[in-house]
Every structure is written in structure tokens, then in C-alpha cells.
Copies of this chain bind each other. A is one copy, B any other.
Amino acid sequence: MTHETETEAVTAANTAFYEAMERGDLETVSALWISDADGPPYSGISCVHPGWPMLFGRGQVLRSYAVIMANTEYIQFFLTDVRVSLAGDVAVVTCTENILSGGPAEDEGELGPLVGQLVVATNVFRRTADGWKLWSHHASPVLTEDEDETPSEGGS
């Protein structure tokens, strides 16, 4: 595959991951994380949700998605600044997640108040026979204001 096609394939895997989250589709999210079934050398996956401690291994990671999905009535990700950095069979995808989400409301059947969140994510993917799979996901809240320390665009 050309470098461009590779980048497209990785970007598609990254998009598929967020779309599965939006649908609350735990099965697809699970399948997008690398596992023993994807063949050796397999080693542990890791995941950090915004403000959370480190989660390690499929047990902790997939359980966390089940918990998040159970407590999220509605979630939408507007991805910006998506960048793919490739090296052999590994890709690092960085992006800004502009999240709009709502939990269950007090009254049954109602949607809770919508909350906006600015989050940055680093997603590491590995190439497998079954396509690009997540090896690590680290998402964190952006807490700083646009000050001097916020860099301008176009740094090299």
C-alpha cells in the first residue's frame, strides 16, 4: 500500500472507533481493540478516559466502555486536527475530540442536559491481518485557557 492509502486506512479505523462509541456499539469497540486473536506478538492494551486513572488489559478497558455506555444517553464526537503519524506496522493518531454528550435524565425517557467537552486524544494503532487495531487510547481534558503557553499553529 502507498503511504497515502495507509494513512487513509488508519484514519478509517480511527473514525470507526468514534462512530461505534456514538452508537453505543460495545461489540464493534471491543473488536477494534487488539487482542490475542490478532496474533503474536501481542502485549497489553492501555486506555485513559478524560480524568481517569490508567486502565490496563482487555478486562479493565472493555469494562470501562460498558460503564460509560450505560451512563451515556447521547454522545457525539466532532473530530478536528486529526493527524496520522506512521512507522511500519504502528500508527499514532492524534486528534481533538469536541464532545457533546448527555446522560439519562431524572424523568424516565427524557434526555439529560447536554454537556460540551474539549478533549485531546492520542490513539496508537497496530496493523494486523484483520486491519488496524487499537493498542493504546489516551484522552484528556483541555483545561488551559488560550494564553501565551498555548502554541500557535504551524510549529514544525
Q: Which residue of B lies closest to A150 (CB)?
A: B53
In the complex, identify which listed stretch (A17-25, A109-117, A132-140) lies at the interface while the others stay far away: A132-140
Contact with B along A47-75 (1 / 0, CB 8 A): 01011111111111101100100000000
Number of copies: 2
Decide if B149 touches A57 in the complex (CB within 8 Å): no
A105 / chain B contacts, CB cutoff of 8 Å: none
Report Cα–Cα, A123/B92, bound state, in Å: 11
- Contact partner, A59, options B46, B52, B67, B155, Cβ 8 Å: B155
Decide if B52 touches A142 in the complex (CB within 8 Å): yes
Known: A54-B96, A156-B57. A87 touches B89 (CB 8 A): yes
- Contact partner, A90, options B56, B61, B88, B150, Cβ 8 Å: B88
Residues on A facing B (Cβ under 8 Å)? 41, 43-46, 48, 50-61, 63-64, 67, 81, 83, 85-90, 92, 94-96, 120, 122, 124, 126, 135-136, 138-144, 149-151, 155-156
